[in-house]
């Protein structure tokens, strides 16, 4: 293990950097990030699909996850955020490497009355407990119900916290006991336009205190 000295480091005090630099640093350093490919629906039933990597699971009793959805540059809500506020429901779909391009294309700013699923031909299947459908090219989907909306910082970012009310895992990924991460093949977001697939997998059992 290499130890670094203070002179080996470039340091930033939060008060000296602007929002775009803060974004560059935090999104480049908190990597690899899981991607929540979120399907949601407006009250009229139009299906929206978009990716979010400021995302993680935050509880397991019950299982809950949280996603930070920023405002658009013009200060308005993104379609996903508006749909979640309107309906309280969404689905987090795991993106396999084979769907990286479809997932990335769905991040383009389509008008609110356009369904990314339709325009990009993203296949869907019905959910079991929420109205928004699941993405059918995803090997695992989590149906979610909103529990809390937490405004963060200056108000540009908002954390949407939700309970997972149903899990769906493809049989090729789940053998009845374990999730096979290699079969799941989740895409991870790195800084800027970069993504990763799983690399070498290391096994370590939980140690006892010495
Ligand atoms: C891989 C990836 C991850 C993203 N993560 C986030 C995120 O965590 N929060 C966010 O507000 N936008 C994120 N975006 C941008 C949204 O996907 C983008 O603003 C999209 O147009 C929102 O779509 P909507 O208006 O249909 O909800 C991400 C984009 C990509 C490609």
In angstroms, rounded to a whole number, what is the distance separating the alpha carbons of residues 59 and 38?
Answer: 19
Count CB-CB contacts under 10 A for residue 184: 18
Q: Which of ligand 1's atoms lies nearest the C-alpha of 49?
A: 26
pLDDT digits (tens, 9 = 90+) for 111-145: 999 999 999 999 999 999 999 999 999 999 999 99
Ligand 1 within 6 A of CB of 39: no
Per-residue pLDDT at 174? 98
User: Average pLDDT in the 63-88 region?
Assistant: 98
Alpha carbons 178 and 28: distance in angstroms, whole number: 31
Write out pLDDT tens, residues 141-186: 999 999 999 999 999 999 999 999 999 999 999 999 999 999 999 9
* CB-ligand 1 contact for 80 (6 Å cutoff): yes
How high is the pLDDT of residue 181? Answer: 98
Does the pTM of the predicted model rise above 0.85? yes
- Find, among 40, 41, 70, the residue nearest to 53 by Cα: 70
Å from CA of 174 to ligand 1 middle: 28
Query: pLDDT value at position 57?
Result: 98
Expressed in angstroms and rounded, the spacing between residue 54 Cα and the centre of ligand 1 is 9
Contact 70 CB / ligand 1 (< 6 Å): yes
Query: Sign (positive/negative) of CA torsion 177, 67, 125, 44?
Result: positive
Tokens of 157: 């970012």
Q: How far apart are the C-alpha atoms of 26 and 41, rounded to whole Å?
A: 30
- Residue nearest atom 23 of ligand 1, based on CA coordinates: 50
Which SS3 state, helix, strand or coil, does residue 115 take?
A: coil
C-alpha separations of 40 from 19, 112, 201 in Å: 28, 12, 33
- For 130, the enclosing helix (H) or strand (E) is none
pLDDT given at position 36: 98
**pLDDT on residue 65:** 98
Residue 59 Cα to ligand 1 midpoint, Å, equals 23
Quick one: pLDDT at residue 205?
97
Distance CA 105, CA 51 (A): 9
Residue nearest to ligand 1 atom 4, measured at CA:
52
Average pLDDT, the chain: 97
Domains along the sequence of the chain with CATH: 33-196 (2.30.110.10)
State residue 33's pLDDT score: 98
The tokens describing 7, both together, are: 């002179």
Are 19 and 79 in contact by the 8 Å Cβ rule? The answer is no
Ligand 1 atom with the shortest distance to the CA of 51: 17
What number of other Cβ atoms are within 10 A of residue 135's Cβ? 26
Tell me what pLDDT residue 35 has. 98
pLDDT at 103 (0 to 100)? 98
* Best residue among 23, 30, 53, 190 to mutate for probing ligand 1, ranked by most atoms within 8 Å of CB: 53
């Amino acid at each position: 293990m290499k130890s670094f000295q203070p002179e080996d480091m470039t340091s930033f005090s939060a008060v000296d950097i602007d929002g775009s630099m803060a974004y560059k640093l935090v999104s480049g350093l908190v990597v690899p990030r899981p991607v929540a490919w979120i399907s949601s629906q407006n009250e009229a039933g139009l299906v929206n699909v978009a990716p979010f990597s400021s995302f993680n699971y935050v509880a397991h009793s019950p299982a809950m996850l949280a996603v930070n959805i920023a405002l658009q540059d013009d200060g308005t809500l993104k379609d996903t955020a508006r749909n979640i506020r309107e309906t309280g429901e969404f689905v987090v779909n795991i993106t396999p490497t084979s769907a990286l391009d479809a997932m990335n294309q769905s991040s383009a700013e389509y008008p609110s009355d356009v369904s990314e699923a339709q325009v990009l031909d993203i296949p869907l299947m019905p959910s079991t407990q929420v109205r928004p459908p699941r993405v059918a090219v995803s090997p695992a989907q989590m149906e979610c119900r909103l529990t809390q909306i937490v405004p963060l910082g200056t108000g540009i970012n908002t954390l949407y916290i939700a309970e997972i009310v149903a899990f769906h895992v493809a049989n090729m990924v789940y053998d009845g006991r374990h999730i096979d991460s290699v079969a799941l093949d989740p895409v991870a977001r790195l800084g800027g336009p970069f993504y990763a697939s799983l690399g070498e997998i290391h096994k370590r059992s939980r140690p006892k205190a010495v």
